[in-house]
Amino acid sequence: MSSSTTQSTAADDQAPAARRAATDALSVDGVSSDEGHAALRASVRRLGELLGESLTRHEGPELLDLVERVRRLARRPDGGTELAALLSGVDDRTAIVLARAFTAYFQLANASEQLHRGLELSRQPTGGLPPTLERVAEGLRSGELDREHAAAVIGRLQLRPVFTAHPTESSRRSVLDLLLRITGIVEASEDPQQRPLDAERGRRRLAELVDLLWQTDELRVDRPRVVDEARSALHYLRTLTSDVLPDLVEDLQAGLAELGLQLPEDGRPLRFGSWVGGDRDGNPNVTPEVTMEVLALQHDAALDLLVRAVEELRTELAASTQVVGVSEELAASLETDRELLPEVHAERVRLNSQEPYRLKLSYIAARLEGTRARLHDQTPHAPGLDYADADELVAELRLLADSLRAHDGQLVADGAVARLLRVVHAVGFSLATLDVREHAGRHHAALAAVYDRLGELDRPYAQLERAERRALLSRELTGHRPLIGAAARNLTGTPAEVFRLFSTVRQALDRYGDDAVESYIVSMTQGIDDLLAVVVLAREVGLVDLADPADDAAGDVARIGFVPLFETVTELEAAEELLEGLLADPSYRRVVAARGDVQEIMLGYSDSSKDGGIAASRWQIHRAQRALRDVARRHGVVLRLFHGRGGSVGRGGGPTGEAILAQPYGSLDGPIKVTEQGEVISDKYVQPRLARHNLEVALSAVLEASTLHRTSALPRDVLDVWDAAMDVVAGTGQRAYRALVGDPALIPFFLAATPVEELGNLNIGSRPSRRPGGTGGLEDLRAIPWVFGWTQSRINVPGWFGVGSGLAAAREAGHGETLRHMYGSWNFFRSFVSNVQMTLAKTDLAIAGHYVEELVRPEDRGVFTTIREEHARTVEQVLWVTGQSELLESAPVLRRTLELRDAYLAPLHALQVSLLGRARAAGEDPAPVLRRALLLTINGIAAGMRNTG
C-alpha cells in the first residue's frame, strides 16, 4: 500500500493515473524477505493494483488518497493524535469503505500466500522414501522396530480430522470461492508457456473477479443454520475425498511396500469425521431432525461422488474380450446382474457387449443410484437393486479387480480400481463419521426423571453422591430389565430431549449403517457415573446389549463408543483415576471389548487454557496422556486420543505434525482424531496442494510416533528433572493467570478493551457465544469469543499470559540450564515455547494501549499494567530460553511477513477503536450503518491476523 515501498517501472509510468495511484496505495513490495518468493510478491502487487483500480471505479480516487493518509499516520509513532482526529471526522459510510479496502487487501494477500505456499511445496525435489518412512526403515534395520509390531501398527493406523462448526471462520463461502477463482487465474498467468493472448484474457478475468470481490458483502446477513454449516463442511470433504485422499494413500502404500510392509486392503489410514449436526452441547439448534437432515446430506453427497468415480472408471476400463478374458466369477455375476437390472442391460449391452468391465461398472453405478434413492425415499433395502452397505460395493469392486489380475490387468487392478477401493474404504457411504456430543448433566437429568418415577431409591436421584450413582448404574448394566420402556412417552423437557437423542442415534445407525455415528462424547465428564449414565441410556434404545452370561451363543453388542471429554485442568488431573475406574468396571469393560478393545478419550485444549492458562493447560494435557497411556496398557486397551484443538495457540492451535510428535512416548498407537475448525479448515484445505501437504505431514507424524516413539529416548532421571521444571513453569503460570482472571476489574476491562460483545453480530456460527443459563460472567463465555476478543485488540492474553512468570520461577528454582536443554531436546517443550513465541510476535501492546486509552475507564486500566509487566517478562524469558536476541530471530521470513501485516493492520485497529467509541456512545442500538462499519473492522482484522478463535 505504500508508495515508498513500490519501485516504478516503465509500465507503471505509462499507466493511467488511477492505476499508478492504486499501485502506490494498495500494493506491497515484498511479502517475505526471501528473494525466492519474488513470484509471490509480484502476484500480491498485481492484485493490489487491480484492487486499487476497482476502488477507483466504484468509489473515486479520493478513497485511495484517504487510504494512504490513514496508512501513513497509523505507521508513524507520533501519528496517533492526528489519526484519531482524521478518523473522528470520517462518516460511517466512509468508515465502511475504508474497512473494506484494507480487508480486501488482506483477502487477496492471504489467497496469494496460500497459492504460492502450495506451489513451493510442489516444486520441492523428490526422490527416495519420504523422511518418515526413511526413519521407519532405519528403525527396522537397527532393530529398534520389529517388523511384526510395525505391521500391527500399520493395520490400525488412522488419522481422522474431524470438521467442526465452531464459529471462527469470519469469511463467507462466497468470498472464499471468489478468492479460489482468483488464485487459479494467477497460477495460470505465471506459466512461462502461456500465450500473450491468454495472458491478456487472464488480466481481464482477474480484473472482473476483483471487481466482484469488492461487490460481494463480506458479512452474513443472517446467522447460518446448522444445515448451512454442514454444506460448507461437505464442500471440503468432497474435494479432499476426490482430489487428495486416493493419491495420498496410494503413495503411502507404495512407500510401505518398499520396506516390505503392507497396508491392509481394508486399511483406513485416513478417514474424516464431523461434528456438524451432532454437537449439541449448548447449541439448541442441533435437534434430532437436524441431525438426520445432515446425515441425509452427507450420504447423498457421498453416493453422488461414488457414482461419478465409478462412471469415470467405466470410461477408462474398456478392456475387450477380443483381447483379454474375464474370470468365471465375473461372468456369472454379469448374468445375475442382467436378471436383476434388465433395464441397465438393455441400455448398455449394445455398446459394451464385449467390454465386460464396463458393463459391470454400469450395474455398480445403477446400484449406487438405487442406494441413493432408497436413502432419500426411506424405503427398505432391495437386494440386488441397491447396496445394504459399503461392504457390498467393496465385494463387487474386488470381484472386478480379481478378474483383471487373472487376465493381464494387474496394473489396472492395482491402479485405478485400487484407488476407487481406497476411497470406498475411507469414506463409505457417509463421507464423514458424525460424532454426537452432549453435556453430562443432561444425561443425569434424564435418569433422575426415570428413577424418581420408579420410586426405587430412598431419596431423589439428584441427591445421590457420585459413588452412589456409580454403583447404581453399574448394577443397572448387569441387569436386563427395560428401565424406561413405555414411560418414555411420559417424559417431558430435558429428559424427553435426551431420550429422543438416543433414539435418533439408533435410527441413524439402522438407516445408514454403523459408520454413520461412531462416538458419543460426554462433555464436562467429572466422574465415572457420567459415562455409565450414557451407557445405560444407550442400552435403553438397543445401542448396547450385554448378553446374559448363561447364554453361550449370545455376544455383547455396543454399536457406538463412549468418550469422556476432559476439559478443565481439574478434569485432566483426575483423568487417570476416572479411566482406571471405568475399565475396572466389569460391565463397562465388556462394552469396550465389544468395540474392539478401543477406548477413545477426548482432551479439551480450549477450556483448560481458559480455566488455568496456557502453561497449565499444555502440561496437564501432556501429563494426562502419559497417565491414560499407562492405564490403557494395564487393561489391554488401544487408546485413541481425540485432540480438541482450536485454531489459535490459546485454544491448542499450532502445526499439527509438531503437536503429534510432541505427545508422550507410547500414547499414540495407530489411531488419532484431531478437530479442524473455522479458519483452520479454509487455510489448510482450500488449496488441494496445501491440503495434500497438511494431511501428509500429519499422517507421517502419526506413523512415526506410533512406530518409533514407543519408549522414552531419555533416562528416567532426566525426565524426572524435566518434569520438575515443568511443574514449576505450569504451577506458577497457573497462579499468575488465575490471579489475572480472578481480578474483579478484568471483566469490565475485557468487555471495554475488546469488541467481544459485538462478535455475536458477525453471524459466523449457529452456536450461541455464551452457555445458556449462566450469570453473564467469564465462566459462561465460551473459549472462542474469549480468544477472539483478545486477538482483535492484539493483547492475546490466552496465548502467553503466565508463561513468563512460570519460566522465571523455574530459573529462580535452579532449572535455568535445564530449560535450555529441554528446548533443544524435548519436542513437547520446544513446541510449547515456539507456539508461545508466535503469539507474542502477534501481540502488539502499543496498539492495545490505544484501545485501553480510548475505551477503558481509568479506574479499570490497572489490569493493563499487569498485562504489560507479564508480557515483558514472558518475552524476556522466551528469548533467554531460545537463545535469541529478538522474537522469531530463527524464522526471518515469518517475522518479516508479520511485520508487513502489521503495517496494514494498524489502520484497521485505529478505525475499530474510533467506531467502538461511537457505537458505545450511541447506546444499545447504534445505527445499522455504524454497526456494519464496526463489524467490517472485526472481519478485516481477523483476515489480517489470519486468526480468530
Give the catalytic positions in this structure.
166, 610
In the block, cell 443459563 appears at 773
Neighbours of 198 (CB within 10 A): 13
Residue 474 half-sphere exposure toward CB, CA atoms < 13 A: 17
- Which cell is 611 given? 480455566
Burial annotation 930-943 (CB, 10 A radius, 16+ → b, else e): bbbbbbbbbbbbbb
Pairing of strands 561-566, 557-558: unpaired
Cβ burial of 11 (10 Å; 0-12, 13-18, 19+) is exposed
The sign one gets for the Cα dihedral 571, 573, 579, 580 is negative
Pairing of strands 557-558, 638-644: unpaired
**Contact 906/74 with Cβ under 8 angstroms?**
yes
- Which cell is 885 given? 536476541
Burial annotation 300-310 (CB, 10 A radius, 16+ → b, else e): bbbbebbbebb
Distance CA 857, CA 845 (A): 18
Residue 686 is which amino acid? V
* 383 strand-pairing partners: 386
Residue 512 half-sphere exposure toward CB, CA atoms < 13 A: 31
Q: 3-state SS of 267-320?
A: CCCECCEECCCCECCCCCCCCHHHHHHHHHHHHHHHHHHHHHHHHHHHHHCCCC
**Contact 406/250 with Cβ under 8 angstroms?**
no
Distances (CA, A) of 303 to 374, 507, 686: 11, 20, 22
DSSP state of 435: E
DSSP helix/strand/coil, 534: helix
* 675 strand-pairing partners: 162
DSSP helix/strand/coil, 225: coil
Neighbours of 215 (CB within 10 A): 10
DSSP helix/strand/coil, 128: coil
In the block, cell 477426548 appears at 602
Distances (CA, A) of 779 to 566, 619, 706: 16, 22, 37
Distance CA 642, CA 658 (A): 16
DSSP state of 224: P
- Which cell is 669 given? 498407537
Cα-to-chain-centroid distance, residue 779: 24
DSSP helix/strand/coil, 514: coil
Contacts of 566 (CB under 8 A, 6+ apart): 525, 572, 574, 575, 601, 602, 603, 604, 608, 624
Residue 667 half-sphere exposure toward CB, CA atoms < 13 A: 22
